[in-house]
């Protein structure tokens, strides 16, 4: 990607010509299958070790059935908690094999399952001990917390995990800013860490079985190493090596700006168009809060571009960035890239600021986008981002750009009101007559993308040729 200054507009940067394309070998699909199999085997290993250590004991004693089941639920909950952390440890080959949105969904499912297993562990173990004493359940709970080694720390960790789970419910997340939720979510790591001493000091699998101790110590060590390596060390190293700084900030549309960033040897940064980073701009208070922004142009040897719509405090600060501001990055993440292409002519469908991903993909799909068609949903003419660049791509490379401009449609339609009077799939076939022979890439609000996906299926596009990635948090 080369940049030139547009005459008459001070400081405005314009893309000129196709970018330098950075090869990034696609990990084979077997990585996804291998990771899934490893997760299942880890749970089976926990159950097998529990059985080998006499997990099913004499169930005739008072409280013994509840205590036995409590041990098993606690072990499986611990295993799933660690797997949950590993899913979001940003392990590069896992990220690229799954995609950020799929990993986030599986992380969320594992989180809720492990939480309820943990609750079952606490309730069953306390009830079992209370029956064997005998004692009241509240009294036994108090005794366990204050007298057993590590239990006070485990109780504090449980409270933190409950807090994270409650705040992760969809209704609660919608009321939070991304920055707030992200900060609170970090307490999950502390909660998992506080539970470790309890398992080491009082867990029967640690105290009685050398094989189980080796397994659990290995799993805890691998999880900690992955977090430190890929969430801490790798981002710090990349930020220090590439030395990214803000070069120029350019207004694109009302409330939308592009930030051009220069750095050292960006050709060694394993990023492709369509991926995103977590960005921290060192411009003053609040720099520690990371925000996810996708590249809005293909990467070059010394220049990156992101385009940001003002939606909150973090994104609102971007338009005030000054040239020379240092930047820390974490990533790249995401799998909505040209690596997914099967060679069919692409159909790109974007809404709002989702055009940033589609604009970058056009750079990486090759000259003329292999006969690309872009459907760009906007409400008004002034909202269109990159209109000049898109028109230039249409003129120079033959990219067909269709601006779907208009007011909000009837409920459930992804098209403007003037197109959505009948069947959306029929309207799509009218807009793109050869839609069934194309490969689709989607980017926009999740409900909108779901409606587009439905229309594409009804128009004859197979599921495996519909590519989309939701930023899930």
Closest CA to 204 of 41, 54, 76, 45: 54
pLDDT lower than 70: segments of the chain = 1-33, 55, 57-63, 146, 168-185, 187, 200-208, 312-314, 367-369, 410, 420-421, 471-473
Whether residue 307 sits in one domain with residue 383: no
The pTM is what? Answer: 0.78
Asked if residue 264 belongs to a domain, the reply is yes
* Residues 458, 377 within the same domain: yes
Domain end (from 269, 298, 333): 333
The pLDDT score that the predictor gives to residue 23 is 40
Q: Is 12 a domain residue?
A: no
Range(s) of the domain holding residue 153: 30-237
Q: Where are the beta strands (DSSP E) in 91-219?
A: none
Residues 385 and 445 in one domain: yes
User: In this predicted structure, what is the pLDDT of residue 7?
Assistant: 29
Contacts of 394 (CB under 8 A, 6+ apart): 400, 401
Burial of 30 (0-12, 13-18, 19+ CB in 10 A): exposed
pLDDT tens per residue across span 282-341: 988 777 788 889 999 888 888 999 999 887 666 778 888 999 999 999 989 888 888 888
Residues 329 and 394 in one domain: no
Residue 17: the pLDDT is 41
Q: Provide the CA 213 distance to its chain's centre, in angstroms.
A: 33
> Do residues 230 and 295 both lie within one domain?
no
pLDDT of 396: 86
- Give a yes or no: residue 387 inside a domain: yes
Q: Is residue 286 part of a domain?
A: yes
Q: Are residues 344 and 380 in the same domain?
A: yes
Same domain, 430 and 308: no
Task: Tell which of 333, 348, 372 closes a domain.
Answer: 333
Amino acid 3: pLDDT: 33
- What CATH number does the domain containing 323 carry? 2.40.30.10
User: What's the structural domain count of the chain?
Assistant: 3
Phi, psi of 301 (to 5 degrees): -65, -30
Which of 328, 348, 222, 343 shows the shortest CA–CA distance to 281?
328
Same domain, 115 and 225: yes
Residues 220 and 318 in one domain: no
Residue 5 domain-assigned? no
For residue 18, tell me if it sits in a domain: no
| Within a domain: 53 | yes
Asked if residue 362 and residue 326 are part of one domain, the reply reads no
What distance in Å separates the CA atoms of residue 396 and residue 363, rounded to the nearest whole number?
Answer: 13
């Amino acid at each position: 990607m080369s940049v030139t200054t547009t005459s008459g507009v001070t400081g405005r940067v314009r893309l000129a010509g196709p970018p330098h394309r950075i090869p990034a070998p696609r990990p084979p699909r077997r990585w996804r299958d291998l990771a899934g199999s490893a997760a299942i085997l880890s749970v089976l290993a926990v159950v097998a070790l529990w059985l080998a250590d006499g997990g099913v004991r004499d169930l005739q004693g008072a409280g013994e059935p509840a205590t036995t089941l409590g041990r098993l639920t606690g072990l499986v909950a611990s295993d799933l908690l660690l797997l949950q952390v590993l899913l979001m440890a940003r392990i590069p080959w896992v990220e690229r094999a799954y995609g950020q949105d799929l990993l986030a969904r599986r992380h969320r499912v594992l989180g809720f399952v492990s939480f309820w297993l943990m609750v079952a562990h606490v309730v069953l173990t306390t009830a079992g001990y209370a029956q064997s004493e005998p004692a009241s359940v509240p009294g036994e709970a108090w005794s366990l917390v204050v007298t057993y080694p590590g239990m006070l720390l485990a109780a504090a960790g449980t409270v933190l995990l409950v807090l994270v789970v409650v705040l992760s419910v969809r209704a609660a997340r919608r009321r939070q800013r991304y920055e707030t939720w992200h900060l609170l979510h970090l307490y999950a790591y502390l909660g998992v860490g506080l539970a470790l001493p309890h398992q080491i000091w009082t867990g029967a699998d640690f105290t009685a079985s050398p094989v189980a101790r080796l397994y659990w110590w290995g799993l805890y060590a691998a999880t900690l190493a992955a977090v430190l390596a890929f969430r801490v060390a790798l981002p710090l190293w990349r930020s220090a090596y590439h030395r990214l700084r803000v070069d120029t900030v350019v207004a694109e549309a009302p409330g939308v700006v592009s930030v051009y960033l220069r750095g050292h040897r960006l050709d060694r940064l394993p990023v492709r168009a369509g991926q995103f980073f977590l960005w921290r701009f060192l411009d003053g208070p609040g720099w520690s809060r990371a925000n996810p922004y996708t590249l809005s142009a293909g990467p070059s040897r010394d220049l990156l571009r992101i385009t940001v719509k003002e939606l909150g405090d973090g994104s609102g600060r971007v338009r005030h960035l000054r040239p020379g501001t240092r930047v820390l990055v974490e990533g790249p993440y995401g799998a909505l890239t040209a690596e997914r292409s099967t060679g069919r002519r692409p159909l790109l469908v974007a809404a709002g600021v989702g055009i940033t991903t589609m604009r970058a993909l056009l750079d990486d799909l090759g000259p003329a986008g292999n006969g690309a068609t872009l459907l760009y949903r906007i409400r008004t003419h002034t909202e269109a981002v990159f209109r000049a660049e898109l028109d230039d791509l249409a003129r120079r490379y033959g990219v067909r750009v269709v601006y779907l401009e208009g007011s909000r449609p009837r409920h459930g339609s992804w098209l403007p009101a003037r197109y959505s009077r009948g069947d959306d799939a029929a309207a799509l076939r009218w807009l793109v007559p050869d839609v069934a022979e194309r490969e689709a890439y989607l980017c926009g609000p999740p409900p909108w993308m779901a409606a587009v996906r439905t229309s594409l299926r009804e128009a004859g596009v197979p599921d495996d040729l519909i590519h989309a990635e939701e930023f899930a948090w």
